[in-house]
């Protein structure tokens, strides 16, 4: 086989793998590869006696101190549960203390005895109160003596017509989704600089890559996260400080119900249908933790057809725009919410 024939053969194999992945996978190719061949996470299972057993597979997150904002529900809650299986020590933050305590108890139960109550710190906080970030950060260091990973997960989505959105909603969304995460992350990075290592994680969205309609402010906040953390990735390229951007698509959670609208103080209020084509928060969290464990820079997560649509939009934008002109926003609404967004 000639050299050019060999190159052609590898291109055919690569195309075939992408084609299969498009229809069967729920992540981008890089994350799929690590999920299949370099998992680095623990597995929990229950035997007939009802006890939970943990099997470790070179788990790089075992013993790590991980701070999760937005940990009281949804993806954040399930990331906490996954990390508890891995033996990570946790700081759980959100506004609702009672829900955080419930998550803590569930984490202790599912850890299979690997964690004690002192290994999980419940730290209630409103992340938008940036004046208290330093004192909250100090509380974490005083409790555990260190911090290895900060996961910025707190945030809200939006459903509204572009021209109806009041500027106060833009400001409120940026305060929560962007400025809170950036301020807390800068405190963490200064600490990581001192100790010589650390990892920042931000829950972005596929909306931070390709902006869907009727979520203009939310899209802008996620694009802003990519701008901020993308710059940090490049500044720290030759250091032991890593940045991971998680980009999930539609997930079963209370995200839609809690979404911003066009008007301040208002929530979208509608819930998902259990028959929607959405990824479970548990599956999303597991893939997210695989990305974190392998220090991936950016990971796309979503059920079909999210991943092929992303590849199409990013690598073939002209074709993507033409298809959108043909089929319009209704098909995007159906894929994302299975109902009219506004």
Residue 114 to residues 65, 248, 264, Cα–Cα distance (Å): 14, 29, 44
- Distance, in Å, from the CA atom of 62 to the CA atom of 114, rounded to the nearest integer, reads 10
| Structure letter (DSSP) for residue 112 | T
Q: Which residue has the tokens 């109806």?
A: 164
| Structure letter (DSSP) for residue 247 | E
CA atoms in the 13 A half-sphere facing the CB of 145: 4
From the list 34, 218, 228, 242, the catalytic residue is 218
Say how many C-beta atoms besides its own lie within 10 A of residue 19's C-beta: 11
Q: Tell me how many degrees the CA angle 282-154-178 measures, rounded to the nearest 5.
A: 135
Active site residue 218: yes
- Distance, in Å, from the CA atom of 336 to the CA atom of 251, rounded to the nearest integer, reads 9
- Distance, in Å, from the CA atom of 97 to the CA atom of 146, rounded to the nearest integer, reads 23
Residue 256 corresponds to which tokens in the numbers above? 């839609």
Residue 307 corresponds to which tokens in the numbers above? 């991943």
Question: In this structure, what is the dihedral angle of CA atoms 34, 244, 197, 70, given to the nearest 10 degrees?
Answer: -120
Active site residues per annotation:
218
């Amino acid at each position: 086989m000639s050299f050019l024939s060999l190159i052609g053969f590898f291109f055919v194999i690569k195309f075939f793998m992408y084609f299969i992945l498009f229809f069967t996978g729920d992540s981008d190719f890089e994350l799929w590869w690590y999920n299949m061949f370099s998992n680095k996470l623990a597995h929990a299972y229950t035997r007939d006696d009802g006890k939970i057993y943990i099997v470790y597979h070179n788990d790089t997150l075992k013993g790590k101190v991980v701070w999760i904002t937005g940990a009281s529900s949804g993806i954040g809650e399930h990331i906490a549960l996954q990390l508890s299986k891995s033996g990570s020590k946790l700081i759980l933050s959100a506004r609702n203390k009672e829900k955080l305590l419930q998550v803590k108890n569930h984490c202790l139960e599912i850890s299979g005895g690997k964690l004690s109550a002192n290994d999980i710190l419940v730290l209630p906080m409103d992340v938008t109160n940036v004046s208290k970030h330093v004192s909250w950060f100090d509380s974490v260091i005083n409790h555990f003596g260190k911090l290895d990973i900060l996961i910025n997960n707190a945030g809200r989505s939006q459903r509204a017509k572009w021209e109806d959105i009041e500027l106060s909603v833009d400001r409120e969304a940026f305060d929560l989704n962007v400025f809170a995460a950036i301020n807390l992350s800068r405190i963490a990075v200064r600490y990581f600089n001192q100790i010589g290592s650390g990892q920042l994680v931000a829950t972005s969205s596929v909306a931070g890559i390709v902006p869907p309609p009727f979520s203009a402010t939310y899209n802008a906040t996620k694009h802003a996260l990519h701008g901020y953390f993308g710059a940090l990735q490049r500044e720290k390229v030759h250091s032991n400080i890593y940045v991971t951007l998680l980009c999930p698509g539609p997930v079963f959670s209370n995200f839609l119900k809690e979404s911003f609208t066009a008007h301040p103080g208002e929530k979208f209020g509608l819930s998902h249908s259990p028959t929607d084509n959405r990824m479970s928060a548990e599956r999303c969290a597991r893939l997210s933790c695989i990305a974190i464990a392998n220090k991936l820079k950016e990971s796309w997560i979503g059920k079909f057809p999210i991943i092929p649509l992303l590849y199409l939009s990013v690598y073939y934008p002209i074709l993507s725009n033409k298809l959108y002109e043909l089929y319009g926003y209704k098909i995007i609404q159906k894929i994302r919410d299975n109902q009219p967004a506004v």
